[in-house]
Homo-oligomer: A and B are copies of this chain.
Amino acid sequence: MLTSDINKNELFLGIDGGGTKCKAIVVNRDNAILGTGISGPGNPLHGFEQAANSIEESAKLALADAGLQHIALHEIPAGVGLAGVNLPVLYKQMNEWLHPFKEMYLATDLLIACLGAHQGEYGAVMITGTGSCGFAHVDDDVFMLGGHGFPHGDKGSGAWTGFQAAKQVLLSLDQLIPATALTPKLLAHLKVNNAVEMVEVIAGKPAAFFAEFARDVYEAARAGDDIARAIVQEGAGYISQLARKLLTKNPPRISLIGGLTPVITPWLDADVQETLSAPLSPPEMGSVIYARQQQAKQSKIS
């Protein structure tokens, strides 16, 4: 398909603004992805300016990637899913943004993830990436579970997993619990030799720092490491609990998404594993779906 064949009135932008990066896609009338763009943090929790810039930049990169740089953002409607806009103050701020799009349809990161996973149909998702949470979208209602943030919440997430490992390794370095293979593994990962050096490196670090060690914990657990197994079992147990709670809302489908999905799935309770359906499309496609749904509703009303 030549880019000259593109009817710009049929294009849609879908944007997923997360804490570490903002991802945009531009799609045609059939939701086929024509181009993709990735920029910096797009989460207004960490600053409005930064989020606004990242959203705009990712969208421009997606257009350029599609060879559509001659089309301006104000010619295309955009669905924008953002972490944090469940908080009224942030929703208001982002919604009042003098955005560069033809229209902007704003939703939470959870809603677009859920719409993406279930192709616009009702359903539920558990997310286990750097953070963790559960979300159900049934009968026009939404239900959130967990997702309270690091280090007080987000059990079962990558950050939680790495942080639990750090705490246990410190106990082992004090010889208050037996050390396992996890202790030298974490010291090597952090490039430190002892507890004092380790504390200097980990003190005050954000969620993403601890999430970097999560896959090593899962690898150790698979190899039978006692400390790692206990952490992984507790984390997966929590995600299984989230699933059970979400299933009480009777979602037609339920999916597990986020970076830990492949490694945590085998540790979930067997009956929970059986209920899981593979996500059908990524969150940024959920943003497109959301925008189309909202546009259709509005044209029905008017």
Please give, as numbers and ranges, the residues of chain B lying within 8 Å of A188 by CB-CB distance.
Answer: none
CB nearest neighbor in B for A202: B152
Given the complex of chains A and B, what is the CA–CA distance between A155 and B174 in angstroms? Answer: 12
* A148–B195 CB distance below 8 A: yes
CB distance from A243 to the nearest CB of B (A): 11
Q: Number of A residues contacting the other chain (C-beta, 8 Å)?
A: 26
In this assembly, does A166 line the interface, its C-beta being within 8 Å of a C-beta of chain B? yes
In this assembly, does A282 line the interface, its C-beta being within 8 Å of a C-beta of chain B? no
In this assembly, does A153 line the interface, its C-beta being within 8 Å of a C-beta of chain B? yes
CB nearest neighbor in B for A199: B148
CB nearest neighbor in B for A167: B152
* A174–B145 CB distance below 8 A: yes
Q: Contacting A175 at CB < 8 Å: which of B148, B174, B245? A: B245
Contact with B along A113-145 (1 / 0, CB 8 A): 000000000000000000000000000000001
CB nearest neighbor in B for A166: B152
* A199–B163 CB distance below 8 A: no
In this assembly, does A176 line the interface, its C-beta being within 8 Å of a C-beta of chain B? yes
Please give, as numbers and ranges, the residues of chain B lying within 8 Å of A19 by CB-CB distance.
Answer: none
From known contacts A174-B145, A175-B245, A241-B176, infer whether A151 and B151 are also in contact, taking CB-CB under 8 Å: yes
Given the complex of chains A and B, what is the CA–CA distance between A153 and B155 in angstroms? Answer: 18
In this assembly, does A66 line the interface, its C-beta being within 8 Å of a C-beta of chain B? no
* A152–B163 CB distance below 8 A: yes
Given the complex of chains A and B, what is the CA–CA distance between A226 and B245 in angstroms? Answer: 22
In this assembly, does A170 line the interface, its C-beta being within 8 Å of a C-beta of chain B? yes
CB distance from A281 to the nearest CB of B (A): 28
Which 3 residue pairs are nearest across A and B when measured between Cβ atoms?
Answer: A148-B199, A148-B170, A151-B151
